Structure 1
Amino acid sequence: MVAFALLSTFLPVVIIIFVIVYAVKNKEKGEEAVIRHLYTYLVLFATLMMVIGGGISIFMAAADLISPPSYYQNYQDYKQMYDQGKTENKNISETEIRANYDQTVKDEKNRMKESAKNQIIKSLGFIVIPLPIFLYFNRLRKRQSE
């Protein structure tokens, strides 16, 4: 969380410094050419960040798919909650409560795996959509520099 706060503060400063240095360095090319180059670099930067973020998100979701997070409630807490909530069904056996708990844990793991699959599909959008834009603007940048 601290790294994100630091990055969100630091990144705009780096971009502003890059824009100023680039504009001063290429002053002789003309204002329109400098603005066009800056726009190209900013689009390249934004799309590259989206692709990298999508890749990181896919990796994290794949990790959740392979090894889903553990169920947060232990059996003793579940049994105590079950006993408090089911005062009318005091004749439920310990094995039935245990079977219900095991089913709850299994359902939670399945829910986490489904959520991870959903996250992978969503994260692919952060790669599939900006990648062609990045490739197009990269070719455009190469043509501009020739």
Structure 2
Amino acid sequence: MSIAALFIPFLMLVLLGVCLFMAGSYAKKTTSEKSRGANMIRVVYYYLILFMTLMMTIGGSVAAFMAIADIVSPPSYYQSYMEYKEMKIANKTKYDENGKPISIPEIDEDELLKEYDMVVKQDKERNKERAWNTLIKSFGWIVIPLPIFIFYQRKIRSSKE
């Protein structure tokens, strides 16, 4: 999505330059040529809007699909049980001034495993909540530009008839 975010403003600047070039040459034309030129600028404008809204709708659809995939199968927890256990032992260990351990704490394996399972479950729930949030935002990228796309598509059809 970041490539599209960089590409679309670049494309808009190029199209703006083309429109400005056409507007400059528009001033030198006769009345009938001016009306054709104005019509051409309008058509280019319509197609530019159609392109932009279509890209927004496609991007929103892709993001919605990815969010649904995260809801159905959330990403797994990144830390293994052994890493979690080592971290807990390191946090509870007391050290002297030289950095050597003074005492190593006793840890109940069953309690630690229950705690680890709870952390994994909370992480999955948090990932699902983020995915739902992303899905709602993605629908905004579909619902907002789609009526604009349909409106301008009908305008182009009616101007061709």
* TM beyond 0.5: yes
Q: Give me the whole-angstrom Cα distance separating, in 2, the residues matched to 1:138 and 1:113.
A: 37
4+ aligned runs moved over 4 Å, structure 1: none
1:136 aligns to what?
151
CA drift at 1:122: 0.4
Identity of paired residues, percent? 48
Q: Which has the higher helix share?
A: 1
CA RMSD of aligned residues (A): 2.8
Answer 1 or 2: higher relative contact order, Cα 8 Å, separation at least 6. Answer: 1
Structure 2 counterparts to residues 1-146 of structure 1, below 5 A: 4=3, 8=7, 12=11, 30-87=36-93, 90-146=105-161
Extract unaligned runs of 5+ from structure 1: none
CA drift at 1:42: 0.3
Structure of higher CA gyration radius: 2
Q: Deviation per CA, 1:1-38: give whole Å up to 9, x if none.
A: 9xx48x939x83xx75xx69xx7xxxx66221111101
What's the TM-score, normalizing by structure 1? 0.81
What's the TM-score, normalizing by structure 2? 0.73
Q: Give me the whole-angstrom Cα distance separating, in 1, the residues matched to 2:124 and 2:92.
A: 25
State which drifts further: 72-81 or 82-91. Answer: 82-91
Partner AA of 1:74 in structure 2:
S
